Amino acid sequence: MRFLIILSVLLLTGCITPPVKRNFPDVPKELMEKCPELKETENTESLSKVLTVIVDNYSEYHKCKIKVDSWADWYKSQKEIFESVK
Amino acid sequence: MNSFLMSFVPIEWITTAIHSIFIFGVVGLIVGSFASKIPVINAYGTIIKAIAGILLIFGLFAEGYNYASKDWITKSKEYEEKIRIAEEKSGKVNEVIKHVFVDKVKVVETERVVIQEKLKDVSVKIDSQCKITTDTVDILNQAARGKK
């Protein structure tokens, strides 16, 4: 009788195991790259050389901002899609 | 259990088998009831009734189980379809986000090159009018490094 109960429980467990598998969406690999460190200026008296580095750093900031914004968009969109499946 | 069986045996076969067991149970009970009233074969009638009773109970359970399983399988397939559509949407969203990101980065990079070119044009003028000290560079680098 005990074995019968155990067997029934096993069978019922098999019945209730959901076979539908759901994969977590992948993030575009471009967004997975880390933002680089800011460049440092060499020791110089030339303002133009310093400005060159500053311009590069500003540019890196903008790229990094785009990346963070893209992550936020990605999360928002994927969450909406995920929650639409019930 | 049914879904496990269905991976080997077609669902129609299982349904037919369940219907057959149920019908055998009902018919067996009727036949057994009649047979148990006939004096010569009444012993067989009781045996038939007992077997038919077991078949009927199992058949009834299996009919219910099969009906519930079918309903569950239908819902499961609907859910799978919803997931497939969601994964398709998810893939498209990924593509759009990737393209927008790449395009925006290209714009920033182009802008950087343009500004650097402008800087090159005016560098002689800037450097002739303004000299910076080591302290300025140190402060700037300190800000660039940040606190780690």
pLDDT computed for residue A73 by the predictor: 96
Name which residue leads in pLDDT, B18 or A20. Answer: B18
Q: Which two tokens stand for residue B123?
A: 């560098």
Q: Which two tokens stand for residue B58?
A: 């199992």
Q: For chain B, how many structural domains are there in total?
A: 1
Residue B79 burial by Cβ neighbours in a 10 Å radius (0-12, 13-18, 19+): middle
Distance to chain A for B5, nearest Cα, Å: 11
Give percent of chain A with pLDDT exceeding 90: 64
Radius of gyration of chain A (CA): 27
Kindly state whether A82 is in contact with chain B, defined as any CB-CB distance less than 8 angstroms: yes
ipTM at complex level: 0.76
Residue among A31, A10, A57 at smallest CA distance from B93: A31
pLDDT computed for residue A7 by the predictor: 42
- As a whole number, mean pLDDT of residues B63-70 equals 83
Q: Which residues constitute the domain of residue B99?
A: 2-145
Which residue among A23, A47, A84 places its CB closest to the CB of B127? Answer: A47
Asked if A55 lies within 8 A of B82 by C-beta distance, the reply is no
Distance, in Å, from the CA atom of A14 to the CA atom of B3, rounded to the nearest integer, reads: 9
Over the stretch B80-91, which tens digit does the pLDDT of each residue have?
Answer: 899 999 999 999
Would you place residue A3 in the very low, low, confident or very high pLDDT band (cuts 50, 70, 90)?
Answer: very low
Domain segments of chain A as ranges: 25-84
